[in-house]
Structure 1
Amino acid sequence: MGCQDLQGFVPPPVNQGAGFNSTAADEAPSLSADGRYLAFGSDRQGQRNLYLYDLQERRFVDLPNLNRPNSSQEQPSLSANGRFIAYISTERGRPDVFVYDRQTQRPQLLSQAVRGICRHPSISGDGRYVAYQTSERGQWNIEIYDRGSP
């Protein structure tokens, strides 16, 4: 079957069972390039937190030091192998862009110099670049942050 034959073809959804869905609002899914990891935001513990689910092992992955009390973490974007998670957090009282490194278990604040609101981060496959929207100049613009070699 060629590409022409696939027009209008919709693959069936993959049912993951009751593993990661909940009765809370689960939103903003992001898959790693290999399809192994799924990151998403959820209100399941009374505040917006980020979760990482290993689709291969069908279990949640611990994210020490990522979710912060009295703030929300949302809009995750995964690097190709799932090591880095770019996301929005309100821990400083406004939406900021952070990148969490699963290897070091530490978040890095990227938007400390931005005066406007930040949203919709997108991380490159290798975790080096993060693009996001900012309202710093009075309208929505796109910024790209170079984190250097990961």
Structure 2
Amino acid sequence: MKRFIFASLIVSSLLGSCTGYPRLLNLTGLNSSYLEASPQISSRFIVFTSDRNGSQDVYLFDTQIRRFVNNPGLNSLDEIASHPSITEDGKYIVFAGSRQGRTNIYIYNRETQQKRNLTSNLQADVRNPSISADGSRVVFEVAKNGQWDLAVYDIAESRLTE
């Protein structure tokens, strides 16, 4: 009986200390009635895809100023974006972009407002990119010979390791 009471006290104290997370953020303007997929958060930014403007694009929300950030050149009318990822400082966004039945991995530099295709020379299917916190590497899935494997792209050296 003493063991049961002791175990109950331990379990209740552990469960009681877990309050507060996750917590619902009240960020006006962030949510909509449209599909919003693949959210990721860095220190102050939330990046996700949404079809709120009629095509599936990448959106960036700044939690400090509580509004969307405009990123010229990030989205294209003829491209379907998915699986965005952002660096800790918010400088780089990577995502998968599908155009005419082919998917590539793109990196967007928010400072220069330039988008670059990291996989244009890769003859394989790609998906699910993620960028390191410091922006030095991008990892993603690549399908060659019918199997999904991981590939790492080194940004500084413009080199792909499969």
Coarse TM-score class (shorter-chain normalised): 0.7 to 0.9
Structure 2 match to 1:55 = 63
Structure 2 portions without partners, runs of 5+: 1-12, 158-162
Offset, 1:12: 4.3
What is the CA–CA distance in structure 2 between the aligned matches of 1:132 and 1:104, rounded to whole Å?
Answer: 24
User: When the two structures are superposed, what TM-score results if normalisation uses the length of structure 1?
Assistant: 0.88
Q: Does 1:20 align with 2:30?
A: yes
Q: Deviations over 1:89-117 (max 9, x none)?
A: 11364110001000000111101122121
Higher relative contact order (CA 8 A, sep 6+): 1
What is the CA–CA distance in structure 1 between the aligned matches of 2:14 and 2:105, rounded to whole Å?
Answer: 38
The amino acid of 1:111's aligned partner reads T
- The runs of 4+ residues in structure 1 deviating greater than 3 Å are 5-8
Q: 1:82 to 1:6 in 2, by over 3 A?
A: farther
Structure with the larger strand share: 2
**Contact 2:28 2:66 survives alignment (8 Å):** no
Structure 2 match to 1:121 = 129
Q: Does 1:112 align with 2:103?
A: no
Structure 1 match to 2:108 = 100
Structure 1 match to 2:87 = 79
What is the CA–CA distance in structure 2 between the aligned matches of 1:92 and 1:114, rounded to whole Å?
Answer: 16
**The residue matched to 1:53 in structure 2 has which SS?**
strand
Structure with the larger helix share: 2
**Contact 1:114 1:136 survives alignment (8 Å):** no
**Contact 1:26 1:41 survives alignment (8 Å):** yes
Q: Does 1:44 align with 2:22?
A: no
Q: Deviations over 1:53-103 (max 9, x none)?
A: 001100100110010012111210111111100101113641100010000
User: When the two structures are superposed, what TM-score results if normalisation uses the length of structure 2?
Assistant: 0.82
What is the CA–CA distance in structure 1 between the aligned matches of 2:60 and 2:92, rounded to whole Å?
Answer: 11
Percent of residue pairs identical: 34
Offset, 1:18: 3.3
